[in-house]
Structure 1
Amino acid sequence: MKMNNSIRFNWIYLFIFIIVIEVIGSLSALFAGDIKSIYNGLNLPVLSPPDYLFGIVWPILYALIGIAGYLIYYTPSIQHDKVINYILFGSQLVINFIWSIIFFKYEAYWLSFAVIIVLDLIVLLCIINFFKSSQLASILFVPYFVWIVFASYLTIGVAMLN
């Protein structure tokens, strides 16, 4: 089955990408400790969502990240663009992974704010750079970007209030 006349679509590889990203997100949460209890014990800024919302939003975002990763990996593009996309994709995964641990396990709120600002910038670069290779991958990162910008607000709020 062809998709966009430029990549060969494979459901198995797509599923693997999604599962791997979901597992990375789950491991980050596992290593971060009892996120729900910690979150509920914080002085939270205005507009802080209820704790259950994170358990709904993140799996959806991780699925979108996995789909975008699949598209970036399998869409033919210039080698230089591919390398940049891989570096950006991997970087945002690593930074996303460590943010929860820094914030929840170590309660290093100011450091986690610096980390999430870097994540914001890298995800924005992903959106910009992915667009050259796969417009869909770029678009799939937009909800992720919006959510982590909101998370940046929450992070600085927590840092200031705790």
Structure 2
Amino acid sequence: MKFLAIGFVFGMIFISLDSCFSFQIPLTTRQSFPARSVSVTGANRQKDDKIHRSTLPRLPNNIYARSAPHDVLYHRKSTELYSHCASSIVPVVWVLTSVLGGASGTPFVVKSTQTWYTTIPLPSFTPPNRIFAPVWTVLYALMGIASWRVRQTIISMQSASGNPILSFLQYNIIPFSFIHYIMNISWAPIFFGLKRLRMGHVLNVLLLVTLIPIIGIYFSIDVWSGILLLPYLLWLGLATRLSSEVCKLNPTEVKLGYWYNNAKLQDQIWKLRKEAGKRVGFES
């Protein structure tokens, strides 16, 4: 759990920096010279470079513009290699951070599905517990890819939409998506950890309501990014319907407190049974 938390924190820091700075390194503007027909080597080359340096302007950090074609070619190749490595690493970090953040709620889910969650009445269409982990892992990965693609497209956008409101939303969609993501990973601690079923359902509704415009803006920026979020929309719709039915089957007892519901009752019963088992020596 500590490893997941540390990885998630470092990943979010990386994504924040990546959203502010581009990893593409522009080539330094160089003065071009006509190719020479005679190969220059050794002492002649040093003399030739000295003559050129005396006539060339200095670039920042006292670097002279060089006329040697192979120097320019080497710089271009090294820059392209760095940009290629960066463009390969960045999306992986976005995806891993998204998945690690989603996995932060796993301990609450695992503990609940092994105790009180199995004892409360659930809707007939409740999916098996074993499919939740792989489904959410895939969905978080798709969310990371979609956000990265949108971020890349925003960086390369030449002009914004003619609509000022749409332009504002397009250029600020990554922070909005981040807020939605924080709401998403907060659901498991609220629903399973605190056993506040109604609050979890309200949060599901807010997630569904905010996801629809986010997908629309993603489509306006990059079509494939919007398509990648469609499975998440479908699953979130199912989760919202499921949480609604769970609240109906496990109503809140107002007399015992606004947040007291069957989930809390079953959790207390489970703890009492476990404590009783320890007292009689059935459990350690």
TMscore range, shorter length: 0.7 to 0.9
TM-fit CA distance, 1:86: 1.4
User: Where does structure 1 lack aligned partners over 5 or more consecutive residues?
Assistant: 1-7
User: Where does structure 2 lack aligned partners over 5 or more consecutive residues?
Assistant: 1-83, 161-166, 251-284
* Match status 1:158 vs 2:235: no
Q: Is the 8 A contact 1:44 1:161 kept in 2?
A: yes
TM-fit CA distance, 1:31: 5.3
Per the normalisation by structure 1, the TM-score is 0.87
**In 2: Cα distance, 1:16 partner to 1:150 partner:** 29
Compare the two structures and name the one with the higher helix fraction. 1
Match of 1:67 among 145, 149, 155: 145
Per the normalisation by structure 2, the TM-score is 0.51
TM-fit CA distance, 1:33: 6.1
**In 2: Cα distance, 1:42 partner to 1:93 partner:** 28
**In 1: Cα distance, 2:169 partner to 2:228 partner:** 18
* Aligned counterpart, 2:208: 120
Q: Is the 8 A contact 1:72 1:82 kept in 2?
A: no
Aligned AA (2:199): L
Aligned AA (1:69): S
SS at match of 1:110: helix
SS at match of 1:45: coil
Q: Is the 8 A contact 1:88 1:125 kept in 2?
A: no
1:10-89 equivalences under 5 Å are: 10-30=87-107, 34-37=111-114, 38-76=116-154, 77=157, 78=160, 80-89=168-177
Aligned AA (2:140): Y
Q: Is the 8 A contact 1:81 1:133 kept in 2?
A: no
* Aligned counterpart, 2:198: 110
Aligned AA (1:57): V
Higher relative contact order (CA 8 A, sep 6+): 1
Aligned AA (1:88): F
Q: Is the 8 A contact 1:113 1:155 kept in 2?
A: yes
Aligned AA (2:206): V
CA RMSD of aligned residues (A): 1.9
Q: Is the 8 A contact 1:120 1:148 kept in 2?
A: yes
Overall identity of the aligned pairs, in %: 24
**In 2: Cα distance, 1:92 partner to 1:63 partner:** 15
Please give the per-residue CA displacement for 1:99-153, whole angstroms capped at 9, x wherever unaligned.
Answer: 1111001111111111110000111111111111111111111100100110001
* Aligned counterpart, 2:277: none
Which of 1 and 2 has greater Rg? 2
